[in-house]
A and B are shown apart, each in its own frame.
Chain A
Amino acid sequence: MEASLLQARELACWRAERLVFAGLSFEVSPGEALLLTGANGAGKSSLLRLLAGLIPAAEGALTWEGEDCFADRVAHGARLRYLGHQDALKPSMTAAENLEFFARLEGGEVAAALAALELSALADLPARVLSSGQKRRLALARLALSPKKLWLLDEPSVGLDTASVERLAPLFAAHRAAGGMLLAATHLPLPLPDARELRL
């Protein structure tokens, strides 16, 4: 087994004057998938935001190849993809334009990413007319834009039909085969064979 790339040690998170979790330690190695499970409010979303560097850790350390992730949060942000609860789409722009914006910022092929989520036919529709499942797929298409080492997914399959969830399998598999890591918070089964589970 390869050495772990991402290491969390004794992480604690404090949100709105409440301790969400404390003493959380885990490691993730290239190609590995980690499922975050737990009751509502257990801190799955907070943990993902913390790992992305969007909220500060109250305690503990997060290291990437031994380097502190929070020291340079801009560089840390550039090596990961984060999919939050919100789809981060601009309703007035078309599906393709929404992706194009991120492709211009971070590189990547818009047409290929749309095809990966079978959205090619909807490319020229404004995001406001898409159904919530289609919007979710468009947000997921960002993952397929350019390769990033770490994917942090918050309930990626919410609003997706069974066929769409199955369509994620090759996307996830390709990411892991290329040495990518994946952390997903979910209540629904995801097509992630031999994923480890982290219970919060």
Chain B
Amino acid sequence: MIPLVLRELRMAIRHPADTLSAVMFFVLVAALFPFGVGPSPELLARMAPGVLLAAALLAALLPLDRLFGAEAEDGSLDQLLLSGLHPASIAAAKALGHWITTGIPLVLATPLAAALLNLPTEAWGAAMLALGLASAILSVFGAAGAALTLGARRGGVLLPLLVLPLSIPAVIFGAAAIEAAANGLEARPYLLLEAAILAFAAPLAPLAAGAALRGE
């Protein structure tokens, strides 16, 4: 499983376009909002938690439909399935690779987006944690969605429809954590609830993805 994660990282470093486009998308959405809702600092700060979460999840969704598509097209997926790795560990490795190459860069770009949305600096730490957890949840559910829609003709449309509803709890608790931190309250309980969702999804979603990969 580790060689597969390392290969994902190596390819992301050689071709940073996917990672960069997700980060650019995230920052640009955060930059567009103030133009839309007007330059009222209070209103922006009020909306910031939800906007950050929604923009980050949509950005993380961008490279997902190529997660297994690229492997299937060049024949690598066949080789991976025959390599003695369990299909679920292939899916888990791909999900982890997606989080490292998309989720972590989004977390690092969070302060920039938070500043554009006038989020109080006290809440930046909570925002980074909430986005890290939310993007990890999206990565594991997304791997399952990508495996299920592999080979479907409209896979790119189907994938968000499958994955985004599953990510709603992550948005709710993530935004609640950021809002609590912005109002000087404890963000910890909300972050723990978000972590609980990840703890639930991380072992189960790869199993579903593995079954989908194997069943063609």
Contact = CB atoms under 8 A, between A and B. Distances in A.
A179 interface: no
Chain B interface SS verdict (over half): helix
Taking residues whose C-beta sits less than 8 angstroms from the other chain, chain B's interface range is: 20 to 34
A77 B81 contact: yes
Interface in A63-87: 73-75, 77-78, 80-82, 84-87
Given A74-B86, A77-B83, A105-B83, A90 B214 contact: no
A89 interface: yes
A174 B78 CA distance: 25
A111 interface: no
B3 A105 contact: yes
Given A84-B75, A92-B14, A54 B81 contact: yes
B124 to A, nearest CB: 35
Contacts, number: 70
A155 to B, nearest CB: 13
Interface string B133-162: 000000000000000000000000000000
Contacts of A49: 78
A102 B74 contact: no
B7 A101 contact: yes
B10 A104 contact: no
A130 to B, nearest CB: 14
Interface in A108-147: 142
A84 B214 contact: no
Contacts of A106: 83-84
B82 interface: yes
Contact of A93 (B14, B79, B82): B14
A93 to B, nearest CB: 7
Interface string B66-99: 0000000111101101111111000000000000
Nearest to B83: A105
Interface of A: 49, 52-55, 73-75, 77-78, 80-82, 84-90, 92-93, 97, 101-102, 104-106, 142
14 contacts: A52-B82, A54-B78, A54-B216, A77-B81, A77-B84, A78-B84, A84-B75, A85-B75, A88-B76, A88-B79, A90-B76, A97-B10, A101-B3, A105-B84
